[in-house]
Structure 1
Amino acid sequence: MEEEDMEFSKELELDVAVKVVHLVCSLCQRVQSSLISSNSDQVKSKDDDSLVTVADYSVQAVVSWILSEYFGSQNISIVAEEDSHSLSKSDSSGLLEAVVKTVNECFSEASKHGLKCPVSPLKPAQVIQAISHCSSTGGHKGKHWVLDPVDGTLGFVRGNQYAVALALIEEGKVVLGVLGCPNYPVRNGLINHQHPSTSNMSPGIADMWEKGCVMYAERGTGKAWMQPLLQGDVKLDLMKFTRPIRVSSIKDPALATFCEPVERANTSHSFSEGIAHSAGFRRKPLRVYSMVKYAAIARGDAEVYMKFARAGYKEKIWDHAAGVLIVQEAGGVVTDAGGRPLDFSKGIYLEGLDRGIIACSGAVLHDKIVAAVYASWESSVL
């Protein structure tokens, strides 16, 4: 492949990635509204007791089909969270039917986003095939798309924050990251609000909630960007509404806000709070579902994200790849708790992770937290 083709290919990869995240964020909004209004039972538990919804499967099918259509189904490698095994079971026929319907409804809007769509509606077998195509395990060689179709599924089913995360890894390095945050309005300071019931929203509040956002970055540019999420039949030239985002300039821990996961199952709140206190933080932690925590740091709504997983838990690359790159290109610092870069080259897990993950708006806060970790670790009961 000639150099000119490779440059064009990179431009196309970013363009398609941003557009497909916009597309599937709209899908997620519709499914979440349906879950909230109807108490739908279209949610299943996986073998590890985590939740999976119509949206998880549908997003994965749509993204898989689009990426394969643009970049070739024979050569493309996609690493994603869901597999089609449980969806193919006889007792999941209702869920599969809902997924197929949702996928085809989503494709009906593809042209509005400037994307290709199937010439005819996909059949169940084709949807399952698209989901199954996301079976790569990544690694240090070649290109691998990494997808978390609905990051923060618990937040999603509760009407709270969640994200669609798509990244591209080349030779073990994250080179593109796109993060769709349908419940994170463009207006700052609304990170911890739940999706309100449409029955009691004033027009102004409803309009605010309709404006989620999509953030993206390319490795090595030193820039990260945010767009308002496209809504309904509204057609916009998104480039006119795209604006750069930058991390907060706050360096004083006493003024800083730190984020951590809501769930206690795979993180230690007490250890994080102890580290924050030792480093000089005075504010209460902001507990947020999903990679929206990375989004908050990238655009300056918070300064720190800490996660210290309990023994035996292994971090997956799809939970971090897109968010890490966006924070870094927005001027932030992301490492493990020992201060080392995260390694996305070892497959689906962040192997060799030192104790936890620390994302900060700058080096001053980052150094204080790493120092506090080293000072506190021996007394930890993680």
Structure 2
Amino acid sequence: MTVKTISPPAKAYARERRIAERAVHRASILTKRAISLTPSYWASSPIASQPSSRKLSNGEISKSDASPVTAADFAAQALLISAIHGAFPADSFIGEEDADSLRRDPLLAIQVFDFVQQYSTVQLVSDDDDDDDKDEPLYTPTTIEEMFHIIDLGGRGTGGRTGRFWALDPIDGTATFVKGQQYAVSLALIEDGREVVGVLGCPNLKLPEGGGEIEETSVDDEGVGLLLSAVRGGQGSTYRPMGWEGSKLRPARKIEDLRRGLSAASTLTQDGHSNGYVRKTTLKDSGVVELGDLHFIDSTVSTATCSKKVRQLADAAGVAYPGTELYSSHMRYVALIFGGRGAVQVRVPNSRHSANCIWDHAGAQLIYTESGRGKVTDLNGKPVDFGTGRKLSGNYGIITADESVHGKVLELVRDMLDDSSSSSSSSTTSS
């Protein structure tokens, strides 16, 4: 009798995750090399000494939202989209940039295309035994016109309620990127309005030994930081170190395991110091989190959120503000992922009519929730809806917190907003 061997079922979105990880790894190498290829904005940048074979002149332009865009930003978007489009041609995209600026500036377009071609043949080798796609080449545009088209797939993409599209941010945190500080390369697959795959490249991320908060200027000056990823459905979130071209992408490890190790190694004194890392407050890693345990993660210089109101929340909870400050939107999620259970993020829009950009949140939220960290809603307690297009227009603000304390944070937010509304009404009546 012949015994038929039954193969175990393939994990959901396994190929999408592998291709996305390799695409983000390649784009991460490109962006990190760009620190040494472009004129130095920060002479003391610890990665400015990375070797490069040539210099790339400054391709910075100004966008309408006043954040700097470099040639590396366009090139990374071209590499990300072309890799995914080559593997999944039916999928669509939402990206921050379109190619109009390049069409108006032929010199910049040539510089970006030259950059793309330099990294078209980067060899990325996986150490995973089950990686059937490790030798599958990542597609790269072969002409400038094709590069324009690829970039426009993201910049002119609209997303939607049904079907599949990829949301991406080639350099999240460009203001800190040009200083050699923390930034992220993000890529997420959205299907029928929900995140199903999330990948983050954090090229400058260096986790403090023994625990401690992530800091802007504490960077990985030897490797290419860490790669984080997750798939919806209980597969867990993973991390792995990224190396330069030709080096192996090491096996993925569970983020939960790393977090437990950091928690066990980190001991806090009463003055809030831990192994030389300051401003870290006591963050519980078991049991119920109370308001007094909260550690707010925010950016006081970002124009996308009202820091004054977030400070009011911290004051109401009786904790310091900010606990950790990071400019990059995705890096703030990373700080939540690797932080203690008291780590919290509240984003209060400056206007009732403003909405978050999808590429600032897609992917990182999935990695956070799949790691078992907690719950993400808007300020009204609604789940985040990724099916509303380029903006998260179906939601107002963001609350990211451990599930045991999320409801209490939501109550604080509602009280604050009610007080603000009452004050505004009283002022209007008086006038």
Structure 1 length-normalised TM: 0.86
Q: Which amino acid aligns with 1:351?
A: S
C-alpha distance 353-8 of structure 1, shift in aligned 2 (>3 A): closer
- Residue 312 of structure 2: aligned partner: 274
1:97 to 110, 122, 129: 110
Tell me whether 1:176 sits opposite 2:197 in the alignment: yes
Change in CA separation of 1:369 and 1:219 when aligned onto 2, cut-off 3 Å: same
The match for 1:79 among 56, 76, 94 is 94
1:244 to 236, 239, 255: 255
Match of 1:327 among 351, 368, 371: 368
Q: Quick one: distance in 1 between partners of 2:343 and 2:82?
A: 37
**How big is the alpha-carbon RMSD for the aligned residues of Structure 1 and Structure 2?**
2.6
Residues 189 and 36 of structure 1: CA distance in aligned 2, closer, same or farther (over 3 Å):
farther
* Partners of 2:358 and 2:391 within 8 A in 1: yes
Using a 3 Å threshold, how does the CA distance of structure 1 residues 350 and 298 change in structure 2: closer, same or farther? Answer: same
> SS state of the match for residue 94, structure 2?
strand
- Counterpart of 1:300 in structure 2 is 339
In 2, Cα distance between equivalents of 1:9 and 1:367: 32
Shift of 1:306: 1.6
Tell me the alpha carbon deviations over residues 139-168 of structure 1, each in whole angstroms, 9 at most, x when there is no partner. Answer: 111111111111111111222211111111
Query: Which one of 52, 66, 75 corresponds to residue 58 of structure 1?
Result: 75
Looking at structure 2, the residues matched to 130 and 298 of structure 1 have their Cα atoms a distance apart, in angstroms, of 32
Deviations, residues 175-221 of structure 1 (Å, cap 9, x unaligned): 1111111111244535213267xxxxxxxx744xx251111111121
Partner Cα distance (2:111, 2:300) in 1: 29
User: 1:350 and 1:327 mapped to 2: Cα distance?
Assistant: 18
Change (3 A) 1:53 1:206: closer
What letter is aligned with 1:229? M
Q: Could you tell me which residue of structure 1 aligns to residue 294 of structure 2?
A: 256
The within-5 A match list for 1:160-171 is 160-171=181-192
Output the CA distance in 1 between the equivalents of 2:200 and 2:301: 21
Counterpart secondary structure, 1:137: coil
Match of 1:152 among 167, 173, 177: 173
In 2, Cα distance between the equivalents of 1:212 and 1:193? Answer: 13
Does the CA-based 8 Å contact 2:60-2:68 persist in structure 1? yes
Residue of structure 2 equivalent to 1:378: 418
Residue 235 in 1 paired to residue 248 in 2? yes
Contact 1:271 1:380 in 2 (8 A): no
Distance 2:12 2:236 in 1: 20
Which 10-residue stretch deviates more, 372-381 or 291-300? 372-381
Letter in 2 for 1:96: A
Deviation at 1:78, TM superposition (A): 1.0
CA contact (8 A) 1:143 1:169 kept: yes
Q: Which moved more, 1:243-252 or 1:37-46?
A: 243-252
- Residue 29 of structure 1 corresponds to 32
Residues 34 and 255 from structure 1, CA distance in 2 versus in 1: closer, same or farther, beyond 3 angstroms? Answer: farther
8 Å CA contact retained: 1:143, 1:168: yes
Distance 2:302 2:420 in 1: 16
Identity score, percent: 31
Shift of 1:101: 1.4
C-alpha deviation, 1:235, in angstroms: 2.6
Amino acid of the residue matched to residue 192 of structure 1?
A: E
For 1:171 and 1:185, how far apart are their aligned partners in 2? 35
SS of the equivalent of 2:13 reads helix
Cα separation, partners in 2 of 1:274 and 1:14, compared to 1, 3 Å: same
Q: Distance in 2 between matches of 1:274 and 1:56?
A: 35
Alignment match, 1:142 = 163
The alpha carbon displacement at 1:109 in A equals 0.4
**Residue 337 (structure 1) aligned with residue 379 (structure 2):** yes
Structure 1 pair 151–27 and aligned structure 2 pair: CA distance change class (3 A): same
Q: What's the CA shift string for 1:8-66, capped at 9, x where partnerless?
A: 77211111011111111111101123336378532111233332111211111111111
- Runs of 5+ unmatched residues, structure 1: 197-204
CA distance in 1, matches of 2:62, 2:214: 27
**Which 5+ residue runs of structure 2 have no aligned equivalent?**
1-6, 43-56, 127-133, 260-283, 425-431
Whether the 8 Å contact between 1:299 and 1:330 is mirrored in structure 2 is: no
Q: Give the partner amino acid of 2:295.
A: T
Letter matched to residue 22 of structure 2: K
Match of residue 193, structure 1, among 189, 197, 216? 216
Q: Which has the larger radius of gyration?
A: 2
Partner of 2:226: 213
Cα distance in structure 1, aligned partners of 2:320 and 2:212: 19
Kindly indicate whether the alpha-carbon contact (under 8 Å) linking 1:176 and 1:218 is maintained by their aligned counterparts in 2. Answer: yes
Cα distance in 2 for residues equivalent to 1:270 and 1:65: 41
Measured in 2, the distance between the counterparts of 1:328 and 1:56 equals 28
1:339-358 residue CA offsets vs partner (Å, 9 max, x unmatched): 2111111111112323x211
Q: Distance in 2 between matches of 1:36 and 1:373?
A: 43
What is the letter of the counterpart of residue 216 of structure 1?
Answer: S
Matched AA of 2:24:
V
CA contact (8 A) 2:75 2:115 kept: yes
Change (3 A) 1:112 1:103: farther
292-301 or 316-325, larger mean C-alpha shift: 292-301
- Give 1:279 deviation, angstroms: 2.4
| Equivalent residue letter for 1:295 | V
